[in-house]
Amino acid sequence: MEVFGLKSQSLRYRMDGLGSVQLYLTPPDYFDLSPAPAPHRHLHAAAAAAAMSTPVRQKTTLVVGASRGIGQELVQQLAQQQPDGHVIASVRSGAVSDGGRPLPSNVRYLTLDPSSGKSVREAAGSVGALDTLIVHAAVEGPDEARLLGTSDERMAEYMDVGVTGVLRVVKAFLPALRARPTRQIVLVSSTSGPAAAAAAASRGGPYAVSRAALNMVAVQLHNELHGSDGFTVVPIHPGGAATDTGRIAGEGGLSVAKSAAGILKVVGKLTPQNSATFYNYDGTTLPG
């Protein structure tokens, strides 16, 4: 009971014979004169304590196609940037080229062949949750410069690895990506796609065709995953990096380290609003 702002656990009242109210105390005889607690202060303090006691969650990134070149460099730099994070690197076979450097100890390697549905499913089944999926898939071996000189079998390989294989990987890892709120899909592509198709065809026809198709895959993945599930899907051009493919395309003036550093900088700044934007490795946007 509360009277005149004073709370008592033993305050009682009774009517006397004249109709007046008489107040009296029953044991225990005390008033609680302490100020009322401020619940919001306690809530804020509890929230702050919980925030301090909850460790910051480190992101988990999977790089597909990390056996050499840009993919391998992405893994090396991610391992340095996130020493306490989780970096997963996939290779087509158990052999990993170290590029003359020790392999990072905080990187988990797994075998994944984008052209094999069984291999992709097994790899996806071993990964619980992902924040970011970076896919860098291209055919191995010597490249063909002209489309008309490419055999049907070789052309099918370009499309299976560079387009169908990428889609195969993305679909398999969607459950892992949905387990985290970040939900980023990054496809390492090329301006050998629509923006420069005419010029690129004379320097790497099959590759240009596969990259053009991959850029459209990125657009369609955005259409199907962005609005409904909040995914961020972007293709990124790695620049004329000095890799085997870069030399075939007539480029090769950009170091692999600089290309990878630029890609990771772009990825680090991505928001859902950037989805379906075609980026260059230096952060500038390119026509799709």
- Tell the residue number behind the tokens 């369609």, with chain if given: 220
Q: How far apart are the first and last CA of the chain?
A: 73
Q: How far apart are CA 173 and CA 180, in angstroms?
A: 12
The answer to the question of residue 114 being in a domain is: yes
Task: Determine if residue 29 is left, alpha or beta; phi over 0 gives left, psi from -120 to 50 gives alpha, anything else beta.
Answer: beta
Closest of 203, 114, 125 to residue 166, by C-alpha: 114
**What's the pTM?**
0.75
Residues 189 and 119 in one domain: yes
* Residue-level pLDDT, tens digit, the chain, 288 residues: 444 444 444 445 455 554 544 544 445 443 344 444 444 444 445 444 444 444 556 899 999 999 888 999 999 999 999 888 899 999 987 656 555 566 677 899 999 999 999 999 999 999 999 999 999 988 876 667 788 989 999 999 999 999 999 999 999 999 999 999 999 999 999 875 444 545 444 457 888 889 899 999 999 999 999 999 999 999 999 987 645 454 444 455 688 999 999 999 999 999 999 999 999 999 999 886
Domain at 181, CATH number: 3.40.50.720
Query: Is 245 part of a structural domain of the chain?
Result: yes
Phi, psi (degrees; rounded to nearest 5) at 14 = -150, 160
Considering its fold, how many domains does the chain have in total? Answer: 2
Q: Among all chains, which residue has been given the structure tokens 């075609």?
A: 278
Residues 20 and 47 in one domain: yes
Same domain, 223 and 132: yes
Question: 18: buried, middle or exposed (CB in 10 Å: 19+, 13-18, 0-12)?
Answer: exposed
Q: Which residues of 150-180 are buried (b: 16+ CB within 10 A; e: fewer)?
A: beeeebebbbbbbbbbbbbbbebbbebbeeb
Together in a domain, 175 and 156: yes
138: DSSP letter = -
In a domain, 110, yes or no: yes
- Residues 115 and 195 reside in one and the same domain: yes
The parent domain of residue 22 ranges over: 2-53
Phi-psi group of 162: left, alpha or beta (phi > 0 → left; psi -120 to 50 → alpha; rest → beta) = alpha
